Structure 1
């Protein structure tokens, strides 16, 4: 019986592999109103570097190949899931779920009371996936100042905001 892949902190030399995973994952949005925006706004290498330096960048492998990553940060007092991608050929194997659960445990261990994120409402591996892990829609009137800034930046980038939503979940 083979052991399930375990998320772990990224190694510096792996940072160069993450943009390809992100670009491959974005290809799954072909035909979606946000596809062009995602393709044009891939994560800057400096953001990966910063998350890595803060110990907030986890990866997961499938066999000997890096299959996905999750990058987090701090947004006000909250643990912020900034970006999570799994290469399409490694999808539907529980790797994203393993990454998310691992990251949430790390956020809890760091003393955060809540995890937050922004995502697409109409894509099965986005909002419905996060809802299956205990995240709930975070109404705009209740957003923190920091989440308002995130959503304003997404608006400025051209995301179809009628399809975006913020979500939150307690870290107990």
Structure 2
């Protein structure tokens, strides 16, 4: 069941993200040290989780007036059980309830469990010409951090 995270759960989510990020080594992607997103969360208001203890989470923010999915991670031991799909549906539902026009994200273009997976959940690649200033800055920051170690895309799901 997807729910809002409890403050005591935030530290445990770091392990979920690190384990999920380890899967990228299968496709030759290694993240630079210090790039876990959940470590930057200092409150639970933008964090949805599933499981007790959480096996997956979605970290959200606002970018250009849209709900932005900062990170979606599911522990590899619990993958292929629908957790990611339930989390993304909860994110979309939260976006609709919040009245934002879209949910956006950035992801790897060619990794099967990234852009192709999000496309199956209603997201489309957004051309750079359609990006707002905050999304442009976010993509620049990702590049500066060294996260763009393989081709990345910005995607969005229009709500409404």
With normalisation by structure 2, the TM-score equals 0.93
2:42 pairs, out of 34, 49, 67, with 49
Equivalent in the alignment of 2:3:
8
Alignment of 1:3-152 (within 5 A): 6-37=1-32, 39-43=33-37, 45=39, 47-50=40-43, 52=44, 55-61=45-51, 64-152=52-140
Unaligned 5+ segments in structure 1 are 1-5
Shift of 1:122: 1.1
Over alpha carbons, which structure has the higher Rg? Answer: 1
Unaligned 5+ segments in structure 2 are none
Q: Measure, in 2, the Cα distance between the counterparts of 1:79 and 1:101.
A: 13
Assess, with a 3 A threshold, how the Cα gap between structure 1 residues 106 and 15 changes in structure 2: closer, same or farther.
Answer: same
Tell me if the contact between 1:34 and 1:159 (Cα under 8 Å) persists in the aligned partners.
no
Q: Measure, in 2, the Cα distance between the counterparts of 1:164 and 1:60.
A: 27
Q: Measure, in 2, the Cα distance between the counterparts of 1:43 and 1:162.
A: 18
Q: Measure, in 2, the Cα distance between the counterparts of 1:36 and 1:58.
A: 23
1:22-73 deviation line (CA, Å, top 9, x unaligned): 0000110115453233x5411253x3224x1xx2210001xx4320000101
Q: Measure, in 2, the Cα distance between the counterparts of 1:7 and 1:153.
A: 30
RMSD: 1.5
Moved over 4 A (4+): none
1:117-161 deviation line (CA, Å, top 9, x unaligned): 000011111101110011000001211111100110011112336
